[in-house]
Amino acid sequence: MQKRKTTKTDSMPKKAKKSRRSHYGSLFIVAGFVFFITLAVSSVLIFQKNTDNSAPPEPQTQRTEEQAKREALAAAPVNKPHPINLGDISIDDTIIEDGRPTETEKLPPNVTITEKNQNSNPSKKTAVDETRAPITRVEPKSTVPVEAEKSTVKKQTEVKEDHIAALPPKVKKVTKSEKSIEWVKPERPMIAIILDDVGVNKRAAELAIELPSAITLAFMTYADGVQEMAAKAQRKGHELMLHVPMEPLGTADPGPKALLTNLSDEEIRSRLQWGMAQFDGYIGINNHMGSKFTGWRPGMEVVMTEIQKTDHFFLDSRTSPRSVAASIAEAMDVPVLRRDVFIDNDYKNNLEILKQLKKAERIAEKNGHAIAIGHPHRSTVEVLHKWIPEAEGRGFDIVPISRIMTLRRLSGQ
């Protein structure tokens, strides 16, 4: 018989595989143990944090707003700016009012604000300068618990000249003339009628020129042929005025060479000089439109400076309640008049024009004079032709604008 050959396999590889499996199992157990330890520690930390957050906070001493401000005052270096009211600009203890009401009840208890009293002694000044916002001085109360605190606040409440340098720079401002204007009341009330915009429409200008000579005509600077039309009106006996276009509010176009708020002083002066050279014989100047420009102080100061060089007066048409034209003119001693009534805003309605003329009559009866402004519309001219003799029959004098100027009298002259 043939013997079966048996091959003996080495048992070492089997043992090695078994050893590796055992090693992997140990690693897995260790990793699991580490994971559960980490999870347990994390849980403990989270639980402790939640417990701390849920615990009531330790009581803290809370300061009132007054105590905080008192400490801020005491901590501020002497003679150094520190805030007193967040709504105001403050320099030391001097508050520069910004138009909002001062909340005095929020100030520290040892500080009060002394308001200006009109009935007080005029020798006591409560403002640093007229060119800046009014300044009110903060003074300490007479009773302060701590003497040292009283001394500190007292030093801080002193306004010194070198701290005023922190204010905005002084702006040159026209000061109002000390002379007051008085009006002489005539025996018969006087009404002056000025027609503006004359010359833009030549046919309308001809109608205006045919009115009685007591009507004053204001010729537009840029009207074609204005020199010839103005000369014709002057031969007819009309007094002339120069009608200068100025920037209005809104989008309306005031016309060529208008005075605008975005122009330099030199350009404003140049345009005004151009207009003043367009014709001769006018005795005064008034504004065409200008509801924006006449409210702009720098521009009106340039205008009044140029008029000041002449013997002309300025008539404020008052196209805006914010006009500063008259106040600047008075401050610069430029003769000035103000319009009382516009007669033809509703120029298509003759009854409305007549109604406005009646209003001028009432003003003249009360003040002794009235100034009314209209335009050379056909309807306005027709109403004036009829109204003038009727008004004179009721005791009114219809006069050129220069007659109203003669009623002005400056006190002390």
Whether residue 186 is found in the same domain as residue 239:
yes
Whether residue 262 is found in the same domain as residue 292:
yes
Over the stretch 336-352, which tens digit does the pLDDT of each residue have? 999 999 999 999 999 99
Whether residue 80 is found in the same domain as residue 124:
yes
Does 49 fall in a domain? no
pLDDT at 25: 73
The arithmetic mean of pLDDT across residues 380-393, rounded, is 98
Whether residue 221 is found in the same domain as residue 352:
yes
Whether residue 142 is found in the same domain as residue 205:
no
Lowest mean pLDDT among 86-90, 196-200, 313-317: 86-90
pLDDT at 305: 98
Does 349 fall in a domain? yes
Residue 257, pLDDT > 90, answer yes
Residue 23, pLDDT > 50, answer yes
Nearest Cα to 282, choosing from 338, 227, 339? 227
pLDDT above 90 covers what percent of the chain? 54
Q: Which of 51-60, 66-75, 127-136, 384-393 has the highest mean pLDDT?
A: 384-393
What is the CATH number for 263? 3.20.20.370
How many Å apart are CA 327 and CA 203, to the nearest integer?
A: 37
60 C-beta neighbours (distance < 10 Å), count = 6
Does 114 fall in a domain? yes
Instruction: Provide φ and ψ at 340, rounded to 5°.
Output: -100, -40
How many Å apart are CA 200 and CA 221, to the nearest integer?
A: 9
Cβ-Cβ contacts under 8 Å for 213 (sequence gap 6 or more): 236, 237, 238, 400
Residue 36, pLDDT > 60, answer yes
Residue 252, pLDDT > 70, answer yes
Does 21 fall in a domain? no
The arithmetic mean of pLDDT across residues 201-223, rounded, is 97
pLDDT band at 46 (very low <50, low <70, confident <90, very high): confident
Residue 39, pLDDT > 50, answer yes
pLDDT at 180: 63
Does 9 fall in a domain? no
Residue 166, pLDDT > 80, answer no
Whether residue 230 is found in the same domain as residue 125:
no
The arithmetic mean of pLDDT across residues 221-244, rounded, is 98
Whether residue 259 is found in the same domain as residue 320:
yes
Structure tokens at 42: 């994390």
Whether residue 80 is found in the same domain as residue 186:
no
Query: What's the total number of domains in the chain?
Result: 2
Whether residue 205 is found in the same domain as residue 130:
no
Q: Which domain holds residue 350?
A: 181-410
Whether residue 158 is found in the same domain as residue 70:
yes
Does 299 fall in a domain? yes
How many Å apart are CA 379 and CA 354, to the nearest integer?
A: 10
pLDDT band at 19 (very low <50, low <70, confident <90, very high): low
Boundary (domain end) residue, out of 132, 166, 200: 166
Structure tokens at 278: 């367009």
Whether residue 93 is found in the same domain as residue 199:
no
Does 12 fall in a domain? no
Residue 154, pLDDT > 90, answer no
The pTM of this model reads 0.59
Residue 253, pLDDT > 70, answer yes
Whether residue 124 is found in the same domain as residue 270:
no
Residue 161, pLDDT > 50, answer no
**Better pLDDT: 45 or 405:** 405
**Better pLDDT: 29 or 119:** 29
Does 277 fall in a domain? yes
